[in-house]
């Protein structure tokens, strides 16, 4: 099973998936940096991270 990567947003109320399906973790990390700027509201405990997950392709 190939591994895919998704960009996650951690907030005080839980975790939200922002984007699924990256094949390249470096590409996901680059996009996550952009999303961090978009979603960072200066609140402690909020952060964006990249998470691997298996796919059934």
In this structure, what token pair is assigned to residue 11? 């907030």
Residue 36: partners with Cβ closer than 8 Å, 6 or more residues away: 47, 48
**Which pTM does this prediction carry?**
0.79
Domains identified in the chain, total number: 1
Domain range for 40 is 3-54
Per-residue model confidence as pLDDT tens digits over 6-37: 999 988 889 999 999 999 999 999 999 888 87
**pLDDT at res. 43:** 66
The kind and range of the H/E element at 2 are none
């Amino acid at each position: 099973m190939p591994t895919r990567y998704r960009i996650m947003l951690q907030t005080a109320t839980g975790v939200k998936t922002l984007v699924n399906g990256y094949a390249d973790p470096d590409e996901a990390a680059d996009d996550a940096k952009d999303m961090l700027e978009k979603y960072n509201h200066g609140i402690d405990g909020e952060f964006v991270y990249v998470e691997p997950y298996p796919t059934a392709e």
